[in-house]
Each structure stands twice: as C-alpha cells, then as structure tokens.
C-alpha cells in the first residue's frame, strides 16, 4: 500500500483478537476540580498528535494481514468531545467510530467547577504506561499554551519498526521457545479450574465500571506487611486476589482449589535499553502468576508461596514466552497460547506506582482522582486493573456481566488488605 504510514507488528495486531479484530481501548479517567479550557485542550491534543505521529493515523487491515498498519488520516479529527464520562457512554462512542478514526479519543464532562476527562487509547498503539505518557504530554502542552500559544512539544522518535523481534533476538529464538514451553506448562495444574471462570455470553448486558479504593493508611500497612515477609506490594495484591477467588469458588461451586489460576501483565520495557523504551507502542504481554493455596489457607502462608513463585518468575524473564508465541504462532511451543481457555483465566494488570505530577493541568486545576480501566467487555468479571497514584491504590473491573461477582471480588480484596497486620 503506497499510502502506508506505520506498519503494525504482530504484538499490535494481537490485541485485536480480544475484540473480534476491532479496536480494544484502554481508558484513563481523571477527576478534576477547576475549569478546563476545552479549546486549549483541543489544541494541546492536536499538537501532541503532531509529535506522536501514530496518533494522526487510522488502522487498516486484520490480524492475519502482514501489511496491516496505520495510515495518515485524510482530515484533522475533532479530538475532544463533550458528553457523559460514564463508562457505558464512553464505550458507546468507541463502539460506533467511523472507519477512519484516530486511536486517541478524549471525552470531557464539565459540571460546574468539576470536570471529568476520559482519555481512551487503542491498545494496538500502546499500553497503560504509554497512555499515561501521552496524557502527561497533553497536560504539559495544555499548561504551556496558556503563556505561549506557539508552544510545540518535542516529537517522539519513531523507529519505523514496531516489532519486538530485536528483543527476542537478544535472547536467541531457541531460548525464547524454551521459555515459552516453561511458561505454558504452568497452566497444566490449574486447567481443571479454568472452567469455573467462564460465563455464558447470553447473560451479558450494559458495561459497568466497578472501582475500589485502597486508602493511604492501608497502603502504608501493606508496604510494612510486605517488607516483614520479604515480599513486594504486587505479591501482596496477588495473594489477596487469590484468596478472594478461592473463597468465591468455594462458596459458588463448593470446590477447593489447591492452585488458583491467575495471569499477570509484564511490561517488556524492563528488558530494553533506555533509548528503546520511549517510543509510543505496546510493550505489555501476560504471563502465568498462579498462586498455590496451602492447607492452612491463611494469608501469610499464601503470600510465602506467591513470593517464592514471583522470585522464580523474575529469574526467568516472565512474558518472553508469550511474546514468542505471538511472534511465532506456527511454533510447536506456541500452541498452548492459542487455546481460548488460556485467556479466560482471571487476570490482574498492575500498572504500578505513578508520580502524582505525571499529569498536571496547572495551578487552576487540581487532579483529585485517577482510574485506569480496560475498555473491553467480554462478560468476564475477573479482569482487574490496578494503579497506585497519589498514595492510593485503585482496583477497577469493567464488565458487561456478573456485576455482583465483580463488586464482591473487589470489596473482598479491600477487606483482606485492611485486615493485614
């Protein structure tokens, strides 16, 4: 295609498998006190799109097409739309986009001196970290335009090849295939439990967002608890998620799981040199982070098991196996990753700790809250997105089914964290 602008990588196209080759968005919802100048915000987004050229393109092609990718839009889009920030309303907009649409969409909901901004990015372009980077650029541009109308952000370097081949090559394909088999084998002991987390499609309804906040004092106690047990905060989060899932299955199916099936997300940036981490592209894949449940079943015992497994994961480059499976789907080692049940497993994506000033819209506007959510509705209430911002952890589940289950899981995790001592 002569008008091709940026070719896509297999990892880019892989995200579309979760939504029948349609766009799958990640959203960042910011609550603010103060008035946002929407004209200036529109200009700021447009200028950032000039600096991050893929934002001025639309996607064409399918998962199977090697020549799919991003083509320059034929006209300047309207970046900021006013309307309800309610997640179902945002999703309705994202589900009814024209063929030629940019991968970034901004919804502004101004009510008096309170404003909610929702930034949604096509996961084919980038992950949650990349979205935060883009919103940080937009907020910086927004502030600078107030005193310098000609301000222009520094362009982000595009390397032209969005593939992760260089990363795989740095390990050798043979080593990656071996890691692929090792990671896939971790699902074998929990395959018997995966059917417990699959819901019939006919029960799906309107999408809803459920959020649970872990307050600063609880986070402080979590950190101290993790330190006492030589664990990380993420180990503690996996532990309480596993405990909540174990209780749920025991209550609903009268079944006790000896190992709870959980997948986690890994940021491939950790494996790259600094000069290769700044491009706006998708660096996230999943990996098995199952949690053994000892007979005692208490939180400390589960944590010790989870911590031991986490240390093993870190030694074996988690995520490289799935990346290999995506890049080499014809490989024998990749076959387990092609099974539909693999992706129905409960999943927790922890974006990590973000600096409070990562987004800053100036002295007249205060960002009071931030929530990330995976804007894909699959009827699965077990996809949890976690961020830590402003000394508060936010758990979110966005689902179009099993609302009571989603609410219960988040509430139970909060209770378990609050009871740590």
Q: How confident is the model at residue 14 (pLDDT cuts 50, 70, 90)?
A: confident
% of the chain residues with pLDDT over 70: 96
- The average pLDDT across 193-200 equals 84
Tell me which residue of 132, 135, 130, 142 sits closest to 106, measured CA to CA.
Answer: 135
Mean pLDDT in the chain? 89
The whole-number pLDDT of residue 370 equals 95
* Domain pair 4-145 / 165-418, same fold: yes
Instruction: Kindly report the pTM of this predicted structure.
Output: 0.94
Q: Is the pLDDT at 2 greater than 70, yes or no?
A: no
Higher-confidence position of 202 and 330: 330
Architecture of domain 165-418: 2-Layer Sandwich (3.30)
Check residue 201 and give its pLDDT.
66
Task: List Cα–Cα distances, 283 to 243, 336, 358, 396, in angstroms.
Answer: 29, 21, 19, 21
Distance CA 284, CA 286 (A): 7
pLDDT band at 110 (very low <50, low <70, confident <90, very high): very high
Which of the residue ranges 4-13, 67-76, 184-193, 329-338 would you say has the lowest mean pLDDT? Answer: 4-13
Rounded alpha-carbon distances, angstroms, from residue 166 to 246, 324, 327: 40, 12, 11
Domain spans of the chain? Answer: 4-145, 165-418
Report the relative pairing of strands 383-389 and 347-354 from DSSP bridges.
parallel
Query: For domain 4-145, which CATH number applies: 3.40.50.300, 3.40.50.620, 3.90.550.10, 3.30.559.10?
Result: 3.30.559.10
Inform me whether the pLDDT recorded for 202 exceeds 90: no
Tokens of 379: 């009827």
* DSSP bridge partners of 265: 286
pLDDT tens profile 247-282: 999 999 999 999 999 988 999 998 888 777 778 889
Q: Give, in order, the Cα–Cα distances in Å from 381 to each of 268, 373, 393.
A: 26, 12, 19
Q: Which residue has 């089914």 as its token pair? A: 401
pLDDT in tens, 359-413: 999 999 999 999 999 887 666 789 999 999 999 999 999 998 889 999 999 999 9
Whether residue 160 has pLDDT greater than 80: no
What is the arithmetic mean of pLDDT over 62-85?
Answer: 87
Q: What is the pLDDT of residues 35-57, one digit of tens each?
A: 999 999 999 999 999 999 999 99
> Which residue did the predictor score with more confidence, 188 or 417?
417
Q: Are 381 and 348 in contact (CB under 8 A)?
A: no
Nearest-CA neighbor of 268 among 260, 257, 258, 276?
276
Which among 403, 416, 23 is positioned nearest to 211, based on CA atoms? 403
At residue 1, the pLDDT reads 40
pLDDT at 378: 67
Residue-level pLDDT at 194: 86
């Amino acid at each position: 295609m002569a008008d091709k602008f940026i070719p896509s990588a297999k990892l880019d196209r892989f995200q579309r498998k979760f939504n029948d080759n349609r766009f799958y968005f990640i959203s960042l919802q910011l609550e603010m006190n103060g008035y946002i100048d929407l004209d200036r915000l529109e200009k700021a987004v447009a200028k950032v799109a000039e600096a991050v050229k893929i934002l001025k393109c639309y996607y064409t092609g399918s998962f199977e097409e090697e020549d799919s990718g991003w083509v320059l839009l034929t006209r300047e889009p309207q970046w900021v739309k006013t309307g309800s920030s309610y997640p179902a309303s945002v999703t309705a907009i994202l589900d009814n986009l024209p063929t030629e649409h940019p991968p970034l969409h901004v919804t502004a909901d101004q009510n008096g001196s309170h404003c909610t901004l929702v930034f949604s990015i096509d996961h084919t372009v980038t992950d949650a970290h990349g979205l935060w980077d883009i919103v940080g650029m937009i907020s910086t541009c927004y502030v600078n335009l107030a005193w310098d109308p000609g301000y222009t952000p520094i362009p982000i370097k595009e390397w032209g090849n969005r593939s992760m081949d260089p990363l795989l090559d740095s390990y050798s394909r043979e080593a990656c295939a071996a890691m692929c088999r090792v990671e896939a084998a971790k699902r074998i002991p929990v395959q018997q439990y995966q059917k417990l987390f699959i819901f019939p499609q006919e029960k799906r309804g309107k999408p809803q967002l459920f959020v649970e906040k872990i307050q600063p004092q609880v986070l402080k106690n979590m950190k101290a608890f993790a330190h006492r047990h030589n664990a990380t905060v993420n180990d503690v989060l996996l532990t309480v998620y596993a405990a909540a899932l174990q209780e749920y299955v025991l209550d609903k199916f009268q079944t006790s799981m000896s190992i709870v099936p959980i997948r986690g997300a890994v940021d491939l940036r950790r494996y790259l040199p600094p000069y290769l981490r700044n491009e706006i592209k998708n660096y996230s894949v999943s990996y098995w982070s199952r949690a053994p449940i000892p007979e005692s079943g208490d939180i400390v015992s589960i944590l010790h098991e989870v911590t031991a497994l986490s240390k093993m994961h870190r030694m074996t480059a988690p995520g490289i196996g799935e990346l290999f499976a995506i890049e080499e789907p014809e490989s024998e080692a990749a076959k387990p990753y092609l099974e539909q049940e693999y992706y129905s497993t409960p999943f927790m994506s922890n974006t990590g700790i973000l600096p409070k000033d990562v987004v800053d819209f100036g002295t007249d506007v205060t960002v009071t809250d931030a929530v990330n959510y995976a804007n894909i509705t699959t009827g699965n209430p077990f996809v949890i997105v976690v961020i830590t911002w402003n000394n508060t952890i936010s758990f979110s589940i966005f689902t179009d089914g099993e609302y009571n289950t989603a609410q219960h899981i988040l509430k139970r995790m909060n209770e378990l964290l609050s009871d740590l001592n």
